[in-house]
Amino acid sequence: MNSQKIIKETKQILISTLTIGLIMLLTGIIFNILDVNIIKNNKAVIGLSFIPLSLSLLYYIKLIRIIKNPRKMKKTIINETDERIIVSKNKADAKAFRILQSILFLFYTGYTLIIPEDIFESVGWWILLALLIISFGIQSILYYIEIKNSNSSK
Amino acid sequence: MKNIKMKIARIELDLSQDQLADMVGVTRQTINLIESGNYNPSLNLCIEICKALNKTLNDLFWKEV
């Protein structure tokens, strides 16, 4: 069990979500004040910023609880670091990714067949195609990176 | 296959599954699954268990053919 590692990871997520949330919030507010319309409604950016900000708040509460009461948080930490649970979570994540990839493929195929006039024309079609290609490519890239990391650590 | 050696070693030290799990940093369920033979621990976890029970890898995890 490595509580220091958990604390470090929690801090990293807290800082990154807080940064993203603040950037989005400030961007939305500034664009709203200056009346600059990069998207239709700047309030949408302000609204979306609450998602990363809420996440950062949750991780802040988690961090405080770990630092103040490490014994009480021990069970929670063990649940996050137990190798069996991590393996199960990774398997579930992999299956979820496969399901989402299949759904994306079905969406793309359906969209292409049902609305052929959008092929090469619509932004939505291009986005779907890009996401599909990225989803296939990213697996190979991450696998290559993992192999490289495990070889370099030897 | 059940790991009876590990169970005996744990009982000899008067440790519950929960206590052993706490010592090695896993859940009680993981210890239970290892003892019942339904989970294969990693080498690192095997070593941690051996250290906690003052035994060697051979003592606890070697399978006689």
Q: So what CATH class is B4-61?
A: mainly alpha
Query: ipTM, 2 decimals?
Result: 0.84
Contacts of B42 in chain A (CB under 8 A): 83
Give the pLDDT of residue A130.
92
Give the pLDDT of residue A36.
76
The minimal CB distance from A78 to the residues B27, B33, B44 is found for B27
- Residue A97, H or E segment: helix A83-114
Does residue A47 surpass a pLDDT of 80? yes
Q: Distance, in angstroms, between A5 CA and closest chain B CA?
A: 13
Interface of A with B in 88-107 (CB under 8 A): none
Spatial distance between the Cα atoms of A49 and A33, rounded to a whole number of angstroms: 17
Q: What is the DSSP string of A127-145?
A: HHHHHHHHHHHHHHHHHHH
Give the pLDDT of residue A16.
94
Contacts of A79 in chain B (CB under 8 A): 27
Contact B39 A84 (CB under 8 A): yes
So where are chain B's domains? 4-61
Report the candidate in B42, B61, B51 with the shortest Cα–Cα distance to residue B3. B61
Give the pLDDT of residue A42.
76
Spatial distance between the Cα atoms of A10 and A59, rounded to a whole number of angstroms: 6
Interface list for chain B against chain A, based on CB atoms closer than 8 Å: 21-22, 25-27, 29-30, 33, 39, 41-42, 44-45
Question: Does residue A82 belong to the interface with chain B, where contact is any CB pair within 8 Å?
Answer: yes
Contact A85 B27 (CB under 8 A): yes
- Beta-carbon-side half-sphere exposure of residue A125 (alpha carbons within 13 Å): 14
Spatial distance between the Cα atoms of A1 and A19, rounded to a whole number of angstroms: 29
Does residue A37 surpass a pLDDT of 80? no
Average pLDDT, chain A: 87
Average pLDDT, chain B: 92
Tokens of B50: 């051996």
